[in-house]
Each structure stands twice: as C-alpha cells, then as structure tokens.
Chains A and B, each alone.
Chain A
Amino acid sequence: MTRVKDDLQAQLHALRERYRDTLPAKRTLISSLMDECRQSAWRNATTIDALRESVHRLAGSAGSYDMETLGAAAALFEAQIRGVLEGNGTWAVEQAFAEFATILDAHAAATPVEDGNTTEQ
C-alpha cells in the first residue's frame, strides 16, 4: 500500500515538474499574444480570443497541478480579457497580465523540495 502511494506521489511529482517545465513556453506564447493585442489596439478579436484560450487552459490546469495561485491569477486575467471583448478598457487587463506574469515566473523558477512537493509562491 505504501509502495503504491509512493508510486503515485512519484508520478504526480514527475507530472508537476513536467508541467512546470512547460511554463516558460506558455509564458512566451501568452506574452507574444499580448503584444499582438496591444499592437492591434485590442481590435483584433481573433488574437484576443487566442490569448483568452491560452490563458483559459492555464486557469483550468494550474490548480490541478497544485499551483492554485497561478490558476487564480490566470482566471482573473481571463476574466479581464473577456471584459475587453465585451467593450471594457484595457487598463485592468494590463494589470491582471502583470500580476499573472509575475506569479507564473515565480512558479517557473520554483525549486522542488525533498518531499516531492514544490514551493508554492
């Protein structure tokens, strides 16, 4: 039973680390889509939707990988992107992005600790 539990912990740990390794690429994609949105003065609905979709995925998955703060920041960021699509200004989305990016960077840089968990920033 203990071995099974250890196996599960090891698998979850490996998955979490793999997920963490993907964060820089996710950050690059989202930053690049943000730049495109800014360049088009947030008028290109296709790009905004692509940005929303990328952030939406992260909002859905991060919490399942024990990165609740990242998931919450992504959910807030996604809500602000939806706001832009509904005609709101872009100030709030910029704020949400800044906060989201800071948290994502911290998670991407987090160092695993010995018990198989990772430091939650």
Chain B
Amino acid sequence: MSVESASSPAARRILVVDDDPDITDIIDVWLRSAGYEVVTANSANKALHWLDTVHPELVITDLSMPGMDGMQLLEHIQVFDPTLPVLMVSGNAGIPDAVDATHRGVVGFQTKPLKREQLIRSVGDAIGGDGQVAESETRAIEGIVHRGSVMARLLERVRRAARGSSTIMIEGESGTGKELLARAIHRASPRRDQPFVAINCGAMPEPLLESELFGHVKGAFTGAASTRQGLFQAADGGTLFLDEVGDMPLSLQVRLLRVLQDGRVRPVGSTEEFPVDARVVTASHRDLEDLVAQGSFREDLYYRLNVVPIQAPALRERREDIPALVEHFLDDVHGRLGEGRRRFAPAAMDRLLAAPWPGNIRQLANVVEQCVVLSTSTVIPVHLVERALKHREDRVEPFDTAVRGFERQYLVRLLSMTGGNVSRAARLAGRNRTDFYNILRRHDLEAAAFRSR
C-alpha cells in the first residue's frame, strides 16, 4: 500500500483496490501519467481503512478478491459515502455481473486486461474533467477553514456533490456552518455565475414565507400592492438555499414538493405557472427523519430533498481544526474591531481545544471575540477563556466514548502536526514507537496517510 503525492497539489485522488500488485502498479503509473494522484490498497479491508484518511474522488476496485470482494466493498462504500463513485474491474465477469454491478450503483465496469486509454477515459467519465481539480472547485472551498481529516473528507464530498444538480440536504447542529457549506456548494457548481438565494424557513410566518418562496400577483392578499417574483424565480439557473426547512409548515411543504416535481412555480393568486430551474439545497438542525415519523414533515418531500445528504460535523468532532479557526477569528476580530493583535496563551489554547463546544463554531467565534475584547494584554490568559465558556458546559458524554473520541482526535492532530512522522509523533506523545503503532492500530489509523498531504 502506498500514499504518495503527485506533482500537482490539486490532483484528484483515486483509490485503487486489487489484490494483485501487478495490476495496482500499472494502474498507478497510468493514472499518474494522466495527472491523478493514486493510493493503492491490496485488499477491500485496507481500502475501507483508507477511505477515512485519503478522501478519494473515485474508487477503482477489482470484483474478485480474497475475503471481502468488490461488491461487498461497494456496499460498505455506499454506507460510508453514497456519493463516492466506484468503478469495478474484473478478470472474468460476464454481462450479468456487469449489469448487476451497474444496478448496485457502480459508475463503470471494465474487464481485464485493462488498457490505459480506456481506463483513463472511464475515470474521466466517472468524475468529470481531467486529473486536476477545477480551479473554481478549489476556490469554492478555500474560504472554509480546516486542517483535519473530518472536514477534508466533507469538503471532498461537497466538491463532488456540487458538480451535479441533485438536491442536497445539509444536516448538523446549530452553529456548524451549514450556510457556509451551501454557499461553497453553489460556488463549486456549474451554477456559480447564477444567483445564490438563501431564506430561513423558520424565521417568518406561513403567508409571508409562501409569498417569499413562490411570489404573488397584485391583489393576491391584503397588502399585495404589486406583483412580486418569488425566490424560486429569483434563483432561476442558480441555487436556492432553504435553511431550517424542518420548520416549514405542512401546507407549504406540499407546494414545495410540487415545484420540485414539476419544475414550475405558480405565484400566490396567479393562475399562471412559470418554469424554474433552481437547485435546491436545504439545511436543518432538527432530525428530519424524526419529524417524518412524527408526521410533521412529509416523507415524499424528505426523500425528494435528501438525494445527497451532507452531515456538517460538530466542532467537538473536528477539534484538530480549532487552532486554525481561532487564528481565523483572531484575524477577523483584529480587522473589524481594530484591537491590537492578540494570541492565546498555551494553557488558554489547551482549554479551547478541550471545551465541549455545544454552540459549535459560532460559539467559538463569540468566545474568541469576547476574550480579545476583555484581554488587557496581547496574550489572552486561560481565565478569560474559562469565563467565556462557563455558561455552556452542561453536556457530558459517557466516559468511555469521550476517552476514545479524544484519543482518536489527539492522534489525528499529532499525525497532522508531524506530517505522519511516527517517531516524532511518538516522542511528542511520550510513548515508544511500538506502543504508538499499537495505539494507531486500535484506531485504524495509518501514519502514511498523513504524509505528503
């Protein structure tokens, strides 16, 4: 197994899975020559471990392998990330195998012997373009501060999802940056030059929301002094972001479903319908499956909106990003308030890293700002962080879960910091290399995945 970077930092990464090294070796050379970055795994199990750390844009897997075969790997991948495309290859598969694989969701099926041009064409068809990530896609996610693997994986998914026109549902706790992700999806999509229109469905009464979304004609209701275009039409050709869609009243859910099904919108009070082509991205901090079960959210609309689900991680699940986020917010406060540049004392940063963050990134931004404003010196002391945090620390998870979660985040952070250098990471952790390797194995982490990234 190997992880190496190609010459371009923006090369698209492909995970190649085959138990025959003769096959992985030649595919590796072919794809690198076409500008892709390649990671190889000699078993489906190893490939599954790699998924979490290498964030491939495509998986190419052999069908027949000892142990877990290609179809079983496909099933696991579809659970792990339903948007990750899989290209299947096989030495002796017949048409029924190819048909079966296609029905199960593979994007392509090739029989051995593989040929370079044909494989590169299939890869291009599967993920679009050539080996380089489109500049617009890279720019789109540049504004999202991150350093760790959790967000890298998510943003990879955002880039892939952005290319199509499917509806996207972003779920996550309040303050996790769902609108930021929606905007990134729009910027990375082919619709980037068209409007991005956002509305919070929970922030306005039903009649107003209806009029905002679908528009109205003059005289449609008291106060409708003139005809007004709705947001669906305003977002035509672009993206309509419906925040807190779980708060939308049932009667409007019916109208929304109709627009999604027909691609046409009828303003309030009008008998005329207008064609609309707006990609709908939704977000909710509420569990929509629960709302469906309770009968307060339509099941058919849920499935229509949830074609590509994206889970925005809580800040406690991406602690390795906290130092970079803190720097970002310090810059922001410095720019806005003109306060002298501050930094956090090491103990204060440790406290920020260990906090539970129930309010997520929004809370972190507030804490940073509060600390900057209240600090009388350039180095922010730990007690200011304590004071800013004290009102929110009321969530406690089970001890074992917390320890395991902390261990993994700690290891990911350590390996990110040391670029996958195990000796250095072990030394920083105060463990010997053998112990450290054992700990990494317990968490299914491989140091090589953090090198040359």
Q: A56 contacts which chain B residues (CB < 8 A)? A: 64, 91-92
Given A8-B29, A8-B33, also A60-B20 (CB < 8 A) = yes
Contacting pair B29 A64 (CB below 8 A): no
Contacting pair B114 A64 (CB below 8 A): yes
* Interface assignment of B25: CB less than 8 Å from any CB of chain A: yes
Of the residues A8, A12, A63, contact of B113 by C-beta under 8 Å: A63
Contacting pair B113 A15 (CB below 8 A): no
Residue of B nearest to A7 (CB): B33
Contacting pair A61 B112 (CB below 8 A): yes
Q: B204 contacts which chain A residues (CB < 8 A)? A: none
Residue of A nearest to B23 (CB): A61
Residue of A nearest to B89 (CB): A60
CA distance A88 to B115 in the complex (A): 33
Q: B29 contacts which chain A residues (CB < 8 A)? A: 8, 11-12, 15
The A/B interface has a contact count, at CB < 8 Å, of: 51
Q: A11 contacts which chain B residues (CB < 8 A)? A: 29, 33
CA distance A78 to B92 in the complex (A): 10
Contact-residue bracket for chain B:
10 to 19
Given A62-B113, A71-B113, also A57-B22 (CB < 8 A) = yes
Contacting pair A61 B20 (CB below 8 A): yes
How distant is B171 from chain A, measured CB to nearest CB, in Å? 42
- In this complex, which of B26, B64, B115 has the most chain A Cβ atoms within 10 angstroms of its Cβ? B26
Contact pattern, A 1-36, Cβ under 8 Å of B = 1, otherwise 0: 000100110011001000100100000000000000
Contacting pair B26 A63 (CB below 8 A): no
Given A15-B25, A68-B113, also A60-B91 (CB < 8 A) = yes
Contact-residue bracket for chain A:
20 to 34
CA distance A61 to B27 in the complex (A): 11
Q: A65 contacts which chain B residues (CB < 8 A)? A: 22, 26
Contacting pair A60 B33 (CB below 8 A): no
Contact pattern, B 123-141, Cβ under 8 Å of A = 1, otherwise 0: 0000000000000000000
Q: A60 contacts which chain B residues (CB < 8 A)? A: 20, 23, 91, 112-113
Main secondary structure of the interface of A (DSSP, over half): helix
Q: B33 contacts which chain A residues (CB < 8 A)? A: 4, 7-8, 11
CA distance A118 to B25 in the complex (A): 19
Residue of B nearest to A63 (CB): B113
* Interface assignment of A59: CB less than 8 Å from any CB of chain B: yes
Contact pattern, A 67-89, Cβ under 8 Å of B = 1, otherwise 0: 01001000100100000000000
Contacting pair B112 A59 (CB below 8 A): yes
Contact pattern, B 11-34, Cβ under 8 Å of A = 1, otherwise 0: 000000000101101100100010
Q: A63 contacts which chain B residues (CB < 8 A)? A: 112-115
Contacting pair A61 B92 (CB below 8 A): no
Contacting pair B92 A19 (CB below 8 A): no
Q: B115 contacts which chain A residues (CB < 8 A)? A: 63-64
Enumerate B74-111 residues with CB–CB distance to A below 8 Å: 91-92
CA distance A55 to B382 in the complex (A): 66
Enumerate A39-69 residues with CB–CB distance to B below 8 Å: 56-57, 59-65, 68
How distant is B121 from chain A, measured CB to nearest CB, in Å? 15
Residue of A nearest to B91 (CB): A60
CA distance A64 to B28 in the complex (A): 12
CA distance A27 to B169 in the complex (A): 55
18 A–B contacts, CB within 8 A, in A order: A4-B33, A11-B29, A11-B33, A15-B25, A15-B26, A56-B64, A59-B92, A59-B112, A60-B20, A60-B91, A62-B113, A63-B115, A64-B22, A64-B23, A64-B112, A64-B113, A64-B114, A78-B92
A-binding residues in B (CB < 8 A): 20, 22-23, 25-26, 29, 33, 64, 91-92, 112-115
Other A-B contacts than A57-B20, A64-B113, A65-B26, 17 sampled, CB-CB below 8 A, are A8-B33, A11-B29, A12-B29, A56-B91, A60-B112, A60-B113, A61-B112, A63-B112, A63-B115, A64-B22, A64-B23, A64-B26, A64-B112, A64-B114, A65-B22, A68-B113, A78-B92
